[in-house]
Amino acid sequence: MRDEEGEPRVRLIVARARAAQEAFAGASQETVDLAVTAAGWAIMEPRRNRALAEQAVRDTGLGTVDDKFDKNHRKTLGLLRDLRGARSVGVLTDDPDTGITEIARPVGVVAGLTPSTHPVATPINYIINALKGRNAVILAPSPKGAGVCARLLDHVHDELAKVGLPADLAQMLPPPASKALTMELMRQADLVLAAGSQANVRAAYSSGTPALGVGLGNVAAIISPNADFQATAARIAVSKSFDNATSCSSENSLVVIGDAWRPLLAALAAEGGVLATPEERSQLEAAMFPSSKLSPAVVAQSAPRLARLAGLDRDDYAACRFIMAHEDTTHVGSRHPLSGEKLSPVLTLYRVADFDAAIAQVRAIYDYQGKGHSVGVHGASPQEILRLGLELPVCRVIVDQIHSYAVSGAFDNGQPFSMAMGCGTWGGNGFSDNLTYRHFLNIIRIVRPTTPRQPRVEDVFDDYWRRYGR
């Protein structure tokens, strides 16, 4: 797919980015860190953040203003904390034992595909990380997010000007967006970052340019009978209702073990959850998945609005925070779409007998959708927690935390703050960690000779020979 008329426009934008980046490539660490701080303040200034959050909801119709304000603030502040003092210019490490010196170099021009669900938080994350590596970045926002992305860039340009840096370090494709223009941008860039739909990720990987894409979310969380039910329900309620569940890290299913069922349901109800009847569950599924595909009309809408769309008129739904649907453990897969990602405040509940059955249930869910992303667990023993990492196809095991916060970095865990989580080969990705500034660097290694450490053949094979012969 090529856009012959659009190709020169993209070439011009990329050329401006390259010129700005080539000048910025010689910047000192101090100048780089000033650029990072400037871009951070572009969104962290409270009045600007509030206006951006309001426009994001107004333009996209997704999520809530207060939660987007909080997300923009918290994720940016956490990223700035992670980058403070981190070296990204010149020599990174110099190890006399190995004789290896690591040197940071920019990747060049970065193309960043950003989703409508996070039309501000993801672009600023890309911009800050790109600047930390002395790169330029060109954003390709979703059509609904283009207006607020342009406003964000205006603020970034104003702040960059204060520290004497060119606006062309951070640009975006001009609207109206098209798949052809985005594909052309990816072809001409040096690195592609793709968040949002799996169609974006597949396009990035097929662009011919090195790409980092994220996997599909469909988080399940296991609840043990040993959990603190009130604390667990409070965490799940925050995670599931935050920004109307725009995050791919919000729980989509709870796998509840044995005697945890009744007390957990009671605790979830106390946090604003409403359990649908079997008839209501069928209505909800039909409204959310016409023709077995998730309807855009339900994405990131409030639970009361979802209830109205589904014709659920029970008084309980008028002010609920999230809706729960109990499913049989065999109801997983394309014929049971509530077992998949819902991007809305709806939780599917499965009841299982024991921890072995819980692992099997999560594996079945991820065989359908969500493999590689993460799994939550509440109240498990250290041995059970370790089993999840050893046995499930996930890159993160989130223990006793607010899942949608914890996965992408929180102030009370060690995960780096990020708006893009790699899901490893299970999720069809080339990386399994959170996207950080190091992904925006080419790291060169100077390799010097050291004292030889060649073992004798006998040292390597002696035990093998004793056990199995030569």
Residues belonging to the active site: 248
CB contact at 8 A, 21 and 169: yes
Q: Determine the residue type at 280.
A: E
DSSP 3-state assignment of 90? strand
DSSP state of 59: H
DSSP state of 430: S
**Cis? peptide before 176, omega within 30° of 0:** yes
- In sequence order, what DSSP letters do the residues of 177-197 get, joined into one string? P-HHHHHHHHHHSSEEEE-S-
Burial class (CB in 10 A: 0-12, 13-18, 19+), 62: buried
CB contact at 8 A, 290 and 339: no
Cα torsion through 148, 153, 156, 157, rounded to 10: -140
CA distances from 101 to 66, 94, 97, 444, 452 (A): 46, 4, 11, 8, 18
Question: How far is residue 140's CA from residue 14's CA, in Å, rounded to a whole number?
Answer: 12
Question: How far is residue 203's CA from residue 34's CA, in Å, rounded to a whole number?
Answer: 34
| CA–centroid distance for 412 within its chain | 18
List alpha helices for 64-197, DSSP H.
65-83, 121-132, 146-162, 179-188
CA neighbor of 109 nearest in space, from 88, 126, 121, 92: 126
Mutual angle of helices 46-60 and 146-162, in 10-degree steps: 160
CA distances from 38 to 55, 159, 420, 439 (A): 22, 5, 22, 21
